[in-house]
Amino acid sequence: MLMTDIIPTASSGRRRAGIGPVKKLNVRVDMTPMVDLGFLLIAFFIMTTQLRKPAAVHLNMPKEGPVTLLGDSAALTVLLTKNDVVYYYNGNWKNASAKEEIFKTNFSVKDGLGEIIRQKQKRLDKTNSKEHRNALMLLIKADQEASYQNVIDALDETMINLVKKYAVLKADPEELQWIRQHDQ
pLDDT surpasses 90 at 76 = yes
* Start-to-end C-alpha separation, the chain: 86
Nearest to 102 by CA among 38, 174, 2, 3: 174
pLDDT at residue 151, as a whole number: 93
CA 37, 39, 44 angle in degrees (round to 5)?
95
Write the pLDDT tens digit of every residue in 37-56: 999 999 988 888 877 777 77
> How confident is the model over 52-75, as a mean pLDDT?
73
Residue 40 CA, distance from chain mean position: 35
pLDDT surpasses 70 at 66 = yes
Question: Mean pLDDT across the chain, nearest whole number?
Answer: 83
Give the range among 12-21, 59-68, 117-126, 168-177 with minimum mean pLDDT.
12-21
pLDDT-based confidence at residue 8 (cuts at 50, 70, 90): low
pLDDT-based confidence at residue 16 (cuts at 50, 70, 90): low
> How confident is the model over 153-166, as a mean pLDDT?
91
SS3 142: strand
Distance CA 114, CA 111 (A): 7
pLDDT at residue 47, as a whole number: 82
Write the pLDDT tens digit of every residue in 112-158: 999 999 999 998 888 867 778 888 899 999 999 899 999 999 999 99
The overall pTM is greater than 0.75: no
pLDDT surpasses 70 at 88 = yes
